[in-house]
A and B are shown apart, each in its own frame.
Chain A
Amino acid sequence: MKEYTILACAVALVAVAVDFALKTHLVRQKRFWIFWGVMTALTTIVNGYLTWRPIVVYGEAFNLGIRLFTIPVEDYLYGFGLITLNLVIWEYLTRRYRIPEIPPEKG
């Protein structure tokens, strides 16, 4: 059983479900996907190092064996799940606590 593959898919779906349940609707926002463009690049560098050394060693029986450089593809779904949950809770509380965004100076 590719347990890591299944769990990584599941957590990504859970994160999207929580996004809808808390009505933060991040997945509908363009800036969320711009953020993921930046984060994908950053996490590829960091996780690339962790998996290349390797600091983290994967049990090959539990993932598909498809890698981007040395990174199992499951890690991207795992990271998406974790960080999207962080953002959803953050945005939910930002709204709930009525935390204003500081308008930056013009020009």
Chain B
Amino acid sequence: MPFEYALVLLLCSAVPLVMSFSKDLNFYASWRRLVLAVAIPMVAFVLWDMVATQRGHWSFNPRYTFGLELGNLPIEEVLFFIVVPFCALFTWESVKYFLRRRR
């Protein structure tokens, strides 16, 4: 189904997105911190992805994407570099939170 890659991204981010608003985490203390921590690696990795896709390191199965593209990448693949870092940063703050609480 063409929505599968998008669905994977949605399922990954659903719980982190809701829980990120928890007052215990203070996750959005600085929007600048969040935007820069996601965007700087994203620029490098999207460019890498475009070259790697061009060279044949990997490709994307058109059966599972909507068909919207940015350059030679499905839009889902570009969103991957927002969703995965967001989920990772949320997980990092959660791990820190639980380790602090144990002390």
Contact = CB atoms under 8 A, between A and B. Distances in A.
Contacts of A4: 52, 57-58
Contact of B56 (A35, A39, A62): A62
B96 A58 contact: no
Contacts of B12: 46
Contacts of A62: 55-57
Given A3-B57, A93-B33, A87 B40 contact: no
Contact of B99 (A31, A58, A90): A31
The interface centre, meaning the residue of B8, B56, B88, B101 with most chain A CB atoms within 10 A of its CB, is B88
Tell me the interface secondary structure of chain A in the complex. Answer: helix
A79 to B, nearest CB: 8
A90 B37 contact: yes
Contact of A34 (B40, B61, B87, B99): B99
A97 B31 CA distance: 11
Given A35-B91, A55-B65, 9 more contacts: A35-B95, A42-B91, A79-B84, A86-B37, A87-B88, A89-B40, A99-B29, A104-B24, A104-B100
A3 B55 contact: yes
B88 A57 contact: no
Interface string A57-69: 1110111000000
